[in-house]
Amino acid sequence: MAFQETSPITGIIAEERVFIDFGEHEGKSLLEVQDTLPDFYQFLIERKEDGSCTMRRAKDKSFRLYVSNTLN
């Protein structure tokens, strides 16, 4: 059995199945963002680490990524 790398944002969920659901990058997959927008991908990792990033499963069995904009 091959080792499956885990994502720092999604865990075991494949990044090509998770789509950004906010802002100027809405509709892009995390895999696409990782390849083309490394600074934004790092921002998402930081939001995940501080607990302001969530994922929800959509009806089409893909996942949508949200980032909370609450002020601390």
For 66, how many CA atoms within 13 A lie in the half-sphere containing its CB?
A: 8
What share of the chain in percent tops pLDDT 90? Answer: 86
Please, are residues 56 and 66 in contact by the beta-carbon 8 Å criterion?
Answer: yes
Q: Which H or E element spans position 69?
A: none
Average pLDDT, integer, range 21-38 = 95
Average pLDDT on 43-71 reads: 90
Q: At 6, list the tokens.
A: 């885990």
Mean pLDDT for the stretch of residues 27-44: 96
Average pLDDT over residues 9-25: 94
Per-residue pLDDT at 1 exceeds 60: no
Give the pLDDT score at 65.
96
